[in-house]
Amino acid sequence: MNHSPNAPFRNLSPGLSNRLTALVATALLGYSPAFADNISSPLDDEETRRHGIFIDSLDVSLVNVEVFVTRNGEPVPDLTRDDFRVFDDGQPVDLTHLYRVDGGYRADEPKLPQDVTSDTGPAIPAEPSSIIVLVDHSFISPMSRKLVFDNLSTSLDTLMRDGTRVMVVSKTRQVEIAQGSTTDRNDVQAALDRLAITATGTYASEVRRTVQSIEQSAVAIQGRQTGRGPSATTETAESDARLAYQEAQSHSQAMFADVRASLGLLRDFLASLAGLPGRKAVLYVADRLPARSGELVWQVWHAKYGRDWGSQFGASSVDAVLRDFDSTAEIRELIADANTNRVAFYPIGAGADAGPDLFGAESRGLARPTSNFTRLSESDDGLRWLARDTGGRVAIGRGDVSDFFDQLSQDLTHYYSLAYPSPHRGDGQTHTIEIHLRQPDGSFAPPAGDLEIRYLAEYRDKSADQQMADRTFAALVLGVADNPLEVRVKIGDGKRQSDGHYSVPLEIQVPVANLVMIPDATSHWAKVTIQLIVRDQAGRVSDPQRIRLPIEIPHAGLLQALSESAVYATELTLRGGAQTLAIGVHDDHSATASTINLPVDVGGRG
């Protein structure tokens, strides 16, 4: 699917009329498959046991972990499975898969591409990698954005030299795809040029304005106290302190709401990346991702007023106030989603403005904060967490970032891929990972000294349905489609209803030969799950609709059925105009999934 420069990623505005109703349960070659409605399967576990179908699910979820091992910045080669010890929630797990990627080629235990001979077969290219340049206009200044874009432009050849695909994404109040995934350097540069001139409000300017306002109040108080201004009274001082407190409170509340909304958008976007094949590196262009909104402002307030009025206003310390504006839990959730979807964050930006630089030339004459501001965790702690706990790197507040781009390129082509069966069976919860390396004495411990290891620190163990919903969402938003089951889709002409909407017939065909059939005493059974999502021309997205589709074929008809398709027919109620339909089909027995992206012009209007 091609995206225009301003195509919206997701608009959660209500109003999309999209209901899926079972219209027809068609027969398969004269046989009667037990087609389900769009909520649950009529063939539950108890019924399955009565039919004599004893199935141990083949949909075993593997936890994939990309591990970067370097010594003095250079990749460490020739490690084997026996050199790693992996702990999931503190418990050791057995690795079932390990391979090394070197120079973009996969090396199994542990040959390099140049070592390949006619005896060992051809070198195997590694999974494709993608870089997503995500520009967060909410948390980057125009000056910083220009600096990052200039550095990025000069490094594009380095980042894209191995055929790495690049996508450019913009985030303000919603996420928009400025350039779809491409290997064309010119297209990426054109998208960056468009974003470079985008005018948005900045977080830094709002922090500066609020701090200046508090400082001006403090200057007035100091003038009265030193005799260089009107005489100070307790009532006047308290009034100034209260007004400054209210301004700091209002600032923190607004920033906290923005941060939470921003994290929600990022989580939605990560869900779409789940369907993008291979490893994903998000080059996150931002100066800051506040973990505690308003921290710098409250440090200024407390330095000026805290001793006299802090306890009275319930602000005895900065930490006490910031408990109400702490986004740490939401950032941890974002990290877990990133790791589940094989996304590593590489934040890059100018970082926090601190000390005199925060106020700028326009604030000359104002009193400076009396505290030393050693804690500025609102500035970039969230960014550093994202990098550290997803296995990425960070370049915040750095001048020369050429080595940062070199390291990013290296990370995409030199790493170890580890995998083990999840011990949690898709419980939807977040779990931690810790990896130790073999020491010279044979013991295992975290690396130290000049040896560095980076990897995802935690992940969310999604169920098969959740993973399928993410892949279907990726097909909808990114146009990423993969169809190993060879699913075919037919969509009919929409019939206008009295309310102005259209009834649109939809038929999904799944070749029986591509499904895993499990026999019982009288029949063969397949189990298929279908996911449907629709986006209308305004960018509104429906909730995923799930259809369970058990298929029964008597033994006598199996041979003929293998040359035919199972058919599911339903009806969509849609608005007129351009729509995009994403369909995911999952063979529950083999854990094979197909995703399809289908543009539809409902009612003949574009």
Tell me, letter by letter, the H, E, C secondary structure of 365-382: CCCCCCCCCCCCHHHHHH
Residue 109 domain flag: yes
**Residues 429, 513 within the same domain:** no
Residue 412 domain flag: no
Domain boundary (460, 495, 519) is at 460
Measure CA 401 to chain center: 24
28/559 Cα distance (integer angstroms): 13
Whether the CB-CB separation of 348 and 284 falls below 8 Å is answered with: yes
Whether the CB-CB separation of 407 and 73 falls below 8 Å is answered with: yes
For tokens 């590593």, the residue is: 344
Residue 401 domain flag: no
**Residues 273, 232 within the same domain:** yes
The radius of gyration of the chain from alpha carbons, rounded to an integer in Å, stands at 28
Residue 409 domain flag: no
- Of 42, 174, 34, 38, the residue nearest 573 (C-alpha): 38
7/293 Cα distance (integer angstroms): 30
Whether the CB-CB separation of 375 and 295 falls below 8 Å is answered with: yes
Map residue 534 onto helix, strand or coil. Answer: strand
E strands in 485-557: 488-491, 495-496, 502-511, 518-519, 523-536, 545-554
Whether the CB-CB separation of 559 and 519 falls below 8 Å is answered with: no
DSSP state of 488: E
> How many other C-beta atoms are found inside a 10 Å radius of the C-beta of residue 269?
24
122/376 Cα distance (integer angstroms): 52
**Residues 275, 156 within the same domain:** yes
Map residue 532 onto helix, strand or coil. Answer: strand
| Mean pLDDT, 10 residues at a time, the chain of 606 residues | 32 28 29 30 39 41 89 89 95 92 74 43 71 90 82 88 87 88 92 81 71 68 49 70 89 91 90 81 90 87 86 87 91 90 90 41 34 40 89 83 88 90 88 93 89 90 83 82 91 89 92 92 91 84 86 90 90 88 91 90 69
Whether the CB-CB separation of 103 and 413 falls below 8 Å is answered with: yes
Type of residue numbered 56: D
DSSP state of 543: P
Strand 7-8, strand 175-182: pairing: antiparallel
**Residues 559, 468 within the same domain:** yes
Residue 402 domain flag: no
Whether the CB-CB separation of 593 and 486 falls below 8 Å is answered with: no
259/534 Cα distance (integer angstroms): 28
Judge residue 467's burial from the number of C-beta atoms within 10 Å of its C-beta, 0-12 exposed, 13-18 middle, 19 or more buried. buried
**Residues 266, 376 within the same domain:** yes
- Of 462, 420, 381, the residue nearest 67 (C-alpha): 420
Type of residue numbered 332: R
Type of residue numbered 366: L
**Residues 353, 476 within the same domain:** no
**Residues 431, 523 within the same domain:** no
Q: At what angle do helices 234-273 and 464-478 cross, to 10 degrees?
A: 90
Judge residue 44's burial from the number of C-beta atoms within 10 Å of its C-beta, 0-12 exposed, 13-18 middle, 19 or more buried. exposed
Q: At what angle do helices 328-340 and 234-273 cross, to 10 degrees?
A: 10
Q: 223 lies in which domain range?
A: 130-390
CATH number at residue 30: 2.60.40.3880
**Residues 146, 295 within the same domain:** yes
φ/ψ of residue 258, rounded to 5: -65, -40
**Residues 202, 328 within the same domain:** yes
Whether the CB-CB separation of 343 and 270 falls below 8 Å is answered with: yes
DSSP state of 603: T
Give ∠ CA 297-302-305 in degrees, rounded to 5: 120
**Residues 229, 377 within the same domain:** yes
Residue 397 domain flag: no
Chain length of the chain: 606
Residue 31 domain flag: yes
Q: Answer positive or negative: Cα dihedral of 438, 440, 442, 448.
A: negative
First to last CA, the chain: 16
**Residues 455, 473 within the same domain:** no
Map residue 340 onto helix, strand or coil. Answer: helix
472/238 Cα distance (integer angstroms): 57
- Of 212, 210, 213, 205, the residue nearest 138 (C-alpha): 205
**Residues 282, 344 within the same domain:** yes
336/389 Cα distance (integer angstroms): 9
Whether the CB-CB separation of 518 and 589 falls below 8 Å is answered with: yes
pTM above 0.85, yes or no: no
pLDDT at 39: 25
Residue 339 domain flag: yes
Per the structure, how many domains does the chain have? 3
Strand 62-71, strand 523-536: pairing: unpaired
Q: Where are the alpha helices (DSSP H) in 341-480?
A: 356-359, 377-390, 402-413, 464-478
